[in-house]
Amino acid sequence: MPTTDAAGSRAPGTAAPAERCPGCRSALVVHERFPTWCPSCEWNLLPPEPAAEHRTPRQQRRAERAERREEALRRDVRARSEQVFKLVSEGGSDLQDGTTAAAYALAGVVHLVSLTLLLLGLGLVAGLLLPGWPGRIVGVILLAVAFQLRPRLGRPARDGVLTRAAAPTLYELVDRICEAVGAPKVDSIAVDGEWNASFGVLGLRRHRQLTIGMPLWTVLSPQQRVALLAHEVGHCVNGDHRRGLWTGSALNTLVEWYRLTVPDRTRLQEGPVGLIVTIAYALANRVLWVLNRAVRRLVLLMNRLWLRSGQAAEYRADLLSVRLTSVADTRGMLTALLHRPTFETVLHRQRTVPRRRPAAGRPAAPDLWQSLAEAVRTVPPLETERRLRVAGRLDSAVDSSHPPTHLRLRMLTAVPAEQHRHPVVLDSGRSALVEAELAGRRERIAVDLL
């Protein structure tokens, strides 16, 4: 019977025996590098769970309960995602509904709590509310907490930033895309080692930074790169409120609340302590646990309130990509996002094989980028399909900011294409210039990754 890595055990060159799906008896296609699964009945779609370490019955029950809760959440998010898909594909424009207003209000409550803590702390330290030193000590503690909870506006990355002078062709391309989608120009472009790309408006000065992940960029064709950039800068014009000053910083503060209230389970294992300390400790942990649960609920609620407008914004950004390139290019770009596992495999392989000594004058790095491009190019369609379905199945309930990829792909064709007025073309000449401008970063990132 085939297992998840059926291939490894078979001697190279031997023909695969005609394997049949144990679920529905249809013929299976076996591919050496990838798990065998059945597209008809989804047998073996998800790799088998690793055997759990020994658990007491109580731990077992708790784990099962947690798993059920998680699954219920996923189901809920899936149902809502389908709903948003339906609304957007039917041209629903009225997506600024009550939930968006509620999200703003919730953000307001979060900021109000921070402000109250700050004022209380100041009042206590100044001795206005409670005379004497105990009040002042409490005040200092409150100020420290208020400082932790301050609105965080993010900070533009300094590492890996390309200046306009160093990458004129890339900036010119991004400027053209910004103009085509009606967005203001970006202030800086950073290049990092992520399987991703992102856009942020950061800091008090609201610095507009575009970040390009070199690994993802490497496996895209020139027009898919344009589609990727169009999606990212499209976030400025697609009515995405999650990134706003008011709500974005509130969400960051909530995450900070969550971090601050995680109960500490380590202390008591360190050694014998007095009874009173033990009791106080258990009590404090209990209070933290309750707070932590409550904050988790708030984060989930915030995500739930954002889901509709956030996912609709993502679809709009994808449709901007289509407008500037084509359905095929945008589809190619979205599909590439699924291949992070291939990137991780290539990285792992390159890190573990004994490194060949770089020949004199030749950098060791290009190996990584060539292997990566080759590995992604040779992922068979059946494996791409598997990854697509797995993503749909396991989409995290907590980060539902992006619609599942299969829905994003479906949306590309569900909405009647507008006239392609001015598709932005990255011709081979300019593409080569951009690559030359990125060469330095490419090498640096390869060294950092390996």
State the residues that interact with Zn ion by CB under 5 A. 21, 23-24, 38, 40-41, 43, 314
Instruction: For residues 366 and 351, give the distance between their C-alpha atoms in angstroms, rounded to a whole number.
Output: 14
DSSP 8-class letter at 395? -
* Nearest-approach distance from CB 7 to Zn ion, in angstroms: 19
Comparing CB distances to Zn ion, the nearer of 240 and 367 is: 240
* Shortest Å, Cβ 317 to Zn ion: 5
Do 251 and 242 form a contact (C-beta atoms < 8 A)? yes
Which is nearer to Zn ion, 16 or 364 (by Cβ)? 16
Angle subtended at Cα 27 by Cα 22 and Cα 33, rounded to the nearest 5 degrees: 90
Q: How far is the CB of 199 from Zn ion (least distance, A)?
A: 8
**Least separation in angstroms between CB 386 and Zn ion:** 13
Please identify, using beta-carbon distances, which residue of 103 and 146 lies nearer to Zn ion. 103
Nearer to Zn ion, 121 or 404 (CB): 404
Give 244's DSSP letter.
S
Shortest Å, Cβ 103 to Zn ion: 18
What is the DSSP-derived secondary structure letter of residue 134?
A: H
Provide, rounded to whole angstroms, the least separation between the CB of residue 332 and Zn ion: 16
Sequence length of the chain is 450
H-only helix segments in 126-244: 133-148, 168-181, 214-219, 222-234
C-beta of 23 vs 358, nearer to Zn ion: 23
What residues contact residue 445 under an 8 Å CB cut-off, 6+ apart? 160, 191, 192, 193, 214
Widest distance between CA atoms in the chain:
86
| Residue linked to tokens 């100020």 | 143
Cβ proximity to Zn ion: between 38 and 434 the closer is 38
Angle, nearest 10°, between helix axes 275-324 and 327-336? 160
Q: Which is nearer to Zn ion, 333 or 365 (CB)?
A: 333
- Using alpha carbons, list the distances in angstroms from residue 272 to 264, 282, 283: 16, 14, 17
Query: Which residues touch 103 (CB under 8 Å, ≥6 apart)?
Result: 241, 247, 302, 305, 306, 309
Nearest distance from C-beta of residue 128 to Zn ion, angstroms: 47
